[in-house]
Amino acid sequence: MFEEVSMFKFKKLTAIALVAVAAMGLLAGCGNDKPKMTQQEGVLRVGSETTFPPFEFTEGDKYVGFDVDLSEAIAKKLGLKMEFKSMGFDALIPAVQSGDIDMIAAGINATPEREKALDFSDVYFDQGGFITVVRKDNTTIHNMDELAGHTVGAQIGTIPVEMAQKIPNTTVKQIDSNANIFMELKAGTIDGAIIDNAVAMYYLKQGADQDLKLVGEPTKAEGTVLGVKKGNKALQEAVNKALKELKEDGTYQKIYDKWFGDYNKK
């Protein structure tokens, strides 16, 4: 009888212990399942293609530009340290998907194709659109439609590639950077190019207007956004909150004026 009671108590205590362990495991599991806002604690890793002035480019050995300053301000609002990574434009989405970076800041527009892999921030720059650039001595191309039948340059992985492909009888040359597009325009290896309007205006103001010119009117601006990994709602919401606060406290306007203060001056 005594042995039966002892055995009963032992089984009861064992059952209670197992329940407790299971409960602890469940709680631990809940903690591990919590989505991470960034891959590395305390760090916001931002990826960009750095031949896109004035949004992002190199100055000496530093990355500078509107997106760089804005990303830094966002990271500060989130209490994070920013790490900025430069890579090819077509490598940005794979880098977000693999966790190599947390956010894309590269002057991108939200498109249905990109939406399959990314969640977007609110629009943070709503001027620009795309413009046609040709050599200054070109007398046959006066707007984007007149690129028909010509060799057109556009940066690989961007909306201008799709735009150029829709123009009848064009030969579309996909080029890895805007800097190389301008070089090819000057060299005459392409007849024209479709480029982000703000970027084109910046290049021309830096001296490219000696050889090149803008023709026609820019397309309607779709709005520039930041991109995070699909499903990372925590970071998407945090970035949107930071953008809202940066606009309210005047920080966004200061960054905008620094890089686009003379945007409308031709």
Give pLDDT tens digits for 142-174.
999 999 999 999 999 999 999 999 999 999 999
Task: Label residues 192-218 b or e (16+ Cβ within 10 Å = b).
Answer: bbbbbbbbbbbbbeeebeeebbbbbeb
**Across 22-36, 116-130, 238-252, which has the greatest mean pLDDT?**
238-252
130-215: CATH, from 3.90.50.10, 3.90.550.10, 3.30.499.10, 3.40.190.10: 3.40.190.10
Predicted pLDDT of residue 210: 94
Residue 45 clears pLDDT 50, i.e. is over it: yes
Predicted pLDDT of residue 128: 77
- Per residue in 210-228, pLDDT (tens digit) is 999 999 999 988 889 999 9
Q: Give the pLDDT band of residue 35 (cuts 50, 70, 90).
A: low
Predicted pLDDT of residue 221: 82
Predicted pLDDT of residue 262: 61
43-127+222-261: CATH, from 3.40.190.10, 3.30.565.10, 3.90.1200.10, 3.30.470.30: 3.40.190.10
- Per residue in 58-85, pLDDT (tens digit) is 999 999 999 999 999 999 999 999 999 9
Which position has the higher pLDDT, 260 or 24? 260
Q: What is the mean pLDDT of the chain?
A: 87
- For residue 122, what are the CA distances in angstroms to 10, 67, 211, 224, 234? 60, 14, 37, 8, 14
Which position has the higher pLDDT, 204 or 141? 141
Average pLDDT over residues 104-124: 95
Could you tell me which residues are beta bridge partners of residue 239?
none
C-alpha–C-alpha distance, residues 104 and 207, integer Å? 29
Fold identical between 43-127+222-261 and 130-215? yes
Question: Looking at the whole model, is its pTM more than 0.85?
Answer: no
- Please state whether beta strands 43-48 and 103-109 pair in parallel, antiparallel, or not at all (unpaired): parallel
Tokens of residue 218, six digits: 């820019």
